[in-house]
Amino acid sequence: MKLLVCIKQVPDAKDVRLDPVTNTLAREGVDSIMNPYDRHALEEAVAIREQLGGMVSVITMGPPQAEAVLREAIACGADEGVLVSDRAFAGADTWATAYTLAFAAQALGAFDLILCGKQAIDGDTAQVGPGLACRLQIPYVTCVQKTRHVSRDAIEVERMMDDGYDVVRLPLPALLTVVKDINEPRVASLKGKMKAKKATIRQLSAADIGADPLCIGLTGSPTQVVRVFSPEARGDRMMFSGNVQQQVEQLVACLKNHL
């Protein structure tokens, strides 16, 4: 079983601040961590490998310092780390990121299963996983809360829904994005940390993956961030009580007062 886990280095959410002048994320002095959802994707991949054998590769697109999360992933059980890094990738939106990861994945060979976190805690878009699957033309399921059964040619999973879950069976190769309920990630082991320290991280540039320069980075990104700002604090909240009729009457009265 060849497994690929897509991970992202993100600022530690406990520490996020906006630069008041530029209105961009202040990254100076802010710790970087592996996106928390991606830790669960990695744990699931490692657990599947422990069950069926095979190899877990982790990939990240990012600046050179993103190598740290790849080493962390190796310490937590991954077999190899691949850093997709090039100045030309800078400023990529989810469209260009999915394009880049798809080319990188293809450059690495064929995978049976690709796992991603549901979303990254910095952008919160949840688009890269599905985007990557579409680029690779493989089936995908988002918000997976449990792997029910996995074999060499198919996987059956539970997709979390608001009011329960769907059971989805899909042929491999496929892509899953996972939620935190799926597992409890392990603590990096001593042997894993020693392996991570010595591991060689493979680097792939835009040229290495054969990407079209017009489709990557800022140039290849149809969405552009115009402005980032801290939202103003919300106004007062009101709770209406009583039966539905009474609550609607209270709401209408309240809205009229504000017109």
Partner 1 sequence: MDYFFTEHQQMIIDTAREITNEKIIPVRAELDEKNEFPKEILQDIAKADLFSIFVPEEYGGFGGGCYEIVLAMEELARGCVGVATSFAASALGIFPVLIAGSDEQKQKYLPDIAAGTRWAAFGLTEANAGSDASGIQTTAVLDGDEWVLNGTKQWITNGGEAQIYTIIALTDPSKGARGASIFVVEDGDPGFSYGKKEDKMGIRSSATRELILKDCRIPKDRLVGKRGTGFITVMKTLDVSRPGIASLGIGLAQAALDEAVVYAKQRVQFGKPIIAFQAVQHMLADMAIQVEAGRALVYAAARHIDAHPKNMSKASSMCKVFATDMAMKVTTDAVQVLGGYGYMKEYPVEKMMRDAKILQIYEGTNQIQRNVIGQELNKEYS
- Beta-carbon contacts of 150 under 8 Å, excluding residues fewer than 6 positions away, are 48, 51, 52, 113, 156
- Beta-carbon contacts of 109 under 8 Å, excluding residues fewer than 6 positions away, are 2
C-alpha–C-alpha distance, residues 59 and 120, integer Å: 14
| Stretch near partner 1 under the rule CB under 8 A, chosen from 22-30, 59-67, 147-155, 181-189 | 181-189
Q: Using the rule CB under 8 A, is 190 a contact of partner 1?
A: yes
Q: Using the rule CB under 8 A, is 68 a contact of partner 1?
A: no
- CA 27 from chain center: how many Å? 19
Q: Which of residues 83-122 bind partner 1 (CB under 8 A)?
A: none
Q: Using the rule CB under 8 A, is 180 a contact of partner 1?
A: no
Q: Minimum distance between the CB of residue 48 and partner 1, rounded to whole angstroms?
A: 16
| Stretch near partner 1 under the rule CB under 8 A, chosen from 99-107, 144-152, 191-199, 248-256 | 191-199
Q: Minimum distance between the CB of residue 181 and partner 1, rounded to whole angstroms?
A: 16
Q: Minimum distance between the CB of residue 186 and partner 1, rounded to whole angstroms?
A: 5
Q: Minimum distance between the CB of residue 112 and partner 1, rounded to whole angstroms?
A: 24
Among 23, 51, 189, 247, binds partner 1 (CB under 8 A): 189
- H/E stretch holding 85 reads none
C-alpha–C-alpha distance, residues 148 and 166, integer Å: 12
Token pair, residue 68, equals 């740290």
Strand-pair category, 32-34 with 9-11: antiparallel
For partner 1, the closer CB: 76 or 113: 76
Residues found near partner 1 in the complex (CB under 8 A):
186-194
